[in-house]
Amino acid sequence: MKQEATLYRFFLTIFSLMLFLSCQQQKKAQEDKPSQEPVTEQSPMLPLQRLSLPEGFKIELYAEGVDNARSMTMGDDGTLFVGTRRANKLYAIQDTDGDYRADRVILLDTTLVVPNGVAFHDGALYVAEVNRMLRYPDIEQQLDNPPTPEVVYDDYPTEFHHGWKYIAFGPDNKLYVPVGAPCNICDSATVDPRYASITRMDPDGTNREIVANGVRNTVGFTWHPETGELWFTDNGRDMLGDDIPPCELNRVSETGQHFGYPFCHGNALADPEFGDQHPCSDFVPPVQNLGAHVAPLGVKFYTGAMFPEKYRGHVFIAEHGSWNRSSKVGYRITMVTLDGNEATSYEPFIDGWLEEASQEAFGRPVDILLLQDGSMLISDDVGDAIYRVTYSGP
């Protein structure tokens, strides 16, 4: 009897130990598992309460877990497509219940090379890699089993330096594609006239032509809602110090205009290496000089009805932020107020992604897109998120 009791206690001890180890393993597995809870405004990773907006405005998460979210475009059926630069991923995002919060984030493709640019036209998604353009036909009907993309063209330059592309269809139904300068500062157009330019083509890749020259690196453009003219942001060169040259907001009033790079920056700043070749008066000056090194990317005219009258018809710019300035600048959304085609002010609309004291940033705005209700979407390639900005009054 004593021996049986001893064996019972032995097996009970072994069972208890196994149960303890099993519970510990389950606890560790649960701790290692990514959280399924939505990131809120109080999340330490995305502390949106630190952002500063005008009175009456609010910013909330629209979608999270969108790794390196960059350029955005909207499908005919309300699917938001998002390209990436460093993640090499292509996303489709859906708000199926219409509550203005995404409930499906679909990873469409992971095999692409720097698929930064996305555009939607006639039911097809266009995606720009560094040297080629892909087309996913009838994509919104095949999100769970996307088709093999068609190659629209594959003969653009292959340099990765400023090789990532923003693309969009204009009011002329042409696809606009920029080609950045393959350097910080160089006269690259003498090697290939497409360098430092904005080009356009038919949707099938034919009839390509250069629309604008002397454009160092534009990663955002749009069209004036009344005149149909092309407006674009341009990133200024590096290595001239903290405060020069300015980045730019530009307007194309006729095909073939030259915007100064590499000879002239801003309104009248001659480049120290190339500025003696042409006077700045030879080139089209910016509508607005932006901050030096703020890295302006996405740009949109506000055409919605949700925001107050003072914001309508003016230009919003996503300033991605500096990378090599002694103290960082940018990391914000700015607004350029216009009187016709003339800028009358340039000021922050949303800032706070950058903490000035620590010089740490929890986000970097990339692109801007307006929803049908007049609210504004903003992509963030550091926070891996899409935000929605609304106005409900003071």
| pLDDT tens string 349-368 | 999 999 999 999 999 999 99
Say what percent of the chain tops pLDDT 70.
Answer: 89
* Residue 205 clears pLDDT 50, i.e. is over it: yes
**Rounded distance, CA 156 to CA 50, Å?**
42
Burial 5-14 (b: 16+ CB within 10 A, else e): eeeeeeeeee
Dump pLDDT digits (tens) for 120-176. 999 999 999 999 999 999 999 999 999 999 999 999 999 999 999 999 999 999 999
Q: Which of 219, 350, 386, 190 has the alpha carbon at shortest distance from 277? A: 190
- What is the pLDDT, as a whole number, of residue 296? 98
pLDDT band of residue 200 (cuts 50, 70, 90) is very high
Contacts for 168 with CB less than 8 Å, ≥ 6 apart: 73, 119, 175, 176, 221, 222
Secondary structure of the chain as H, E, C letters: CHHHHHHHHHHHHHHHHHHHHHHHHHHHHHHHCCCCCCCCCCCCCCCHHHCECCCCEEEEEEEECCCCEEEEEECCCCCEEEEECCCCCEEEEECCCCCCCCCEEEEEECCCCCCCEEEEECCEEEEECCCCEEEECCHHHCCCCCCCCEEEECCCCCCCCCCCCCCEECCCCCEEEEECCCCCCCCHHHCCCCCCEEEEECCCCCCCEEEEECCCCCCCEEECCCCCCEEEEECCCCCCCCCCCCCEEEEECCCCEECCCCCEECCCEECCCCCCCCCHHHCCCCCEECCCCCCEEEEEECCCCCCCHHHCCCEEEEECCCCCCCCCCCCEEEEEEEECCEEEEEEEEEECCEECCCCEECCCEEEEEECCCCCEEEEECCCCEEEEEEECCC
* Residue 24 clears pLDDT 90, i.e. is over it: no
- What is the pLDDT, as a whole number, of residue 44? 57
pLDDT band of residue 45 (cuts 50, 70, 90) is confident
Handedness of CA 212, 214, 219, 222 (dihedral sign): negative
The tokens describing 208, both together, are 């390509």
Enumerate the domain spans of the chain. 1-32, 42-391
Q: Which of 157, 158, 116, 153 has the alpha carbon at shortest distance from 134? A: 153
Q: Specify the CATH architecture of the domain 42-391.
A: 6 Propeller (2.120)
**Rounded distance, CA 30 to CA 291, Å?**
46
Dump pLDDT digits (tens) for 53-108. 999 999 999 999 999 999 999 999 999 999 999 999 999 999 999 999 999 999 99
**Under a CB-based contact definition with an 8 Å cutoff, are residues 378 and 333 in contact?**
yes
Q: Is 262 exposed, middle or buried (0-12, 13-18, 19+ CB in 10 A)?
A: buried
- Averaged pLDDT score across all residues of the chain: 91
- What is the pLDDT, as a whole number, of residue 25? 41
Block residue for tokens 């460093």: 86
- What is the pLDDT, as a whole number, of residue 32? 33
* Residue 2 clears pLDDT 60, i.e. is over it: no
Tell me the mean pLDDT in the region 225-254.
98
* Residue 261 clears pLDDT 90, i.e. is over it: yes
Block residue for tokens 């769970």: 144
Dump pLDDT digits (tens) for 310-351. 999 999 999 999 999 999 999 999 999 999 999 999 999 999
- What is the pLDDT, as a whole number, of residue 31? 34
Q: How far apart are the first and last CA of the chain?
A: 82
